[in-house]
Amino acid sequence: AQSVTQLDSHVSVSEGTPVLLRCNYSSSYSPSLFWYVQHPNKGLQLLLKYTSAATLVKGINGFEAEFKKSETSFHLTKPSAHMSDAAEYFCVVYNTNAGKSTFGDGTTLTVKP
Amino acid sequence: DVKVTQSSRYLVKRTGEKVFLECVQDMDHENMFWYRQDPGLGLRLIYFSYDVKMKEKGDIPEGYSVSREKKERFSLILESASTNQTSMYLCASGDSGRTPYEQYFGPGTRLTVT
């Protein structure tokens, strides 16, 4: 069985300050992990993915995530928030054997001017 | 760029109606998915298909069926719509040959059942 827990349903930061969105996972197998972003009234867009080649993964728009096996975490970070980062973010674990993904409940990021 | 399109952005239907949601992808992907998205619940998988005429139940298939007659098209059917099926429906596709496996999403259909 696999599961994903996004530890914060809402995160609010000021423009120009760091962003941290937290995700813990549980998986019986070596996981494939993803972060997606959803802007209002849009579909989901892939931010980054964990390939097992490197534990620090760089994505689009300045986002990064670090895979920590010992902590079963895959937290998303960005050094400096921009107003356009305001959106909902989903952490996802993919089960190769079952052929399907499990999504976290989402974290809504608000960026204050 | 991969493009996944959904037939409607907004739909309003009455209880008991049969509802069809259509999804088309243009990247020759084997796998296609239907999810529903509700506030605070993330995305929940309804059905997925890994080949033409093949389908697998997801986590919440009750009240839904699907059809995949052509590789590029995956339809979600609500046989008799109910108010608890009011939701945002998202279609996605993916190439099973890629590892790790990522999905490409359509813009969503917001369905209201009255």
pLDDT tens by residue, chain B, 114 residues: 668 999 999 999 999 999 999 999 998 998 999 999 998 888 999 999 988 988 999 999 999 999 999 999 999 999 999 999 999 999 999 887 665 578 899 999 999 999
User: Does the beta carbon of A34 lie under 8 angstroms from any beta carbon of chain B?
Assistant: yes
Measured CA to CA, the distance from residue B61 to residue B46 in angstroms comes to: 5
List the single residue in B with minimal CA-CA distance to A52: B100
pLDDT computed for residue A90 by the predictor: 95
Distance of CA A64 to the CA centre of its chain: 9
Chain A residues whose CB is inside 8 A of the B102 CB are 34, 46, 49
Contact yes or no for A100 and B45 at CB 8 A: yes
Residues of B in contact with A60 (CB under 8 A): none
Q: Give pairs for A58-62: CB < 8 Å, separation 24+.
A: A59/A35, A61/A85
Chain B residues with CB under 8 Å of A96 CB are 99, 101
Question: Looking at beta carbons, which residues of chain A come within 8 Å of B44?
Answer: 103
**Predicted local confidence at residue B97, as pLDDT:** 64
**Nearest-CA distance B18 → chain A (Å):** 25
B38 Cβ under 8 Å from any chain A Cβ:
no
CB–CB contact A34 B100 (8 Å): yes
Rounded average pLDDT over A77-96: 93
Residues of chain B with Cβ-Cβ distance to A42 below 8 Å are 107-108
The answer to whether the Cβ–Cβ distance between A32 and B101 falls below 8 Å is yes
B73 near A CB under 8 A: no
Q: How far apart are CA B40 and CA A80, in angstroms?
A: 26
Residue A31's pLDDT band (boundaries 50, 70, 90)?
confident
**Long-range Cβ contact pairs of A60-65 (< 8 A, separation 24 or more):** A61/A85, A63/A35, A65/A33, A65/A35
Residue with tokens 């986002």: A63
Residue A32 confidence (pLDDT) above 90: no
Write down the mean pLDDT value for chain A: 91
pLDDT of amino acid A97: 72
Query: How many pairs of residues across A and B have Cβ atoms under 8 Å apart?
Result: 61
The pLDDT value recorded for residue A82 is: 97
In this prediction, residue A19 has a pLDDT band, given cuts at 50, 70 and 90, of very high
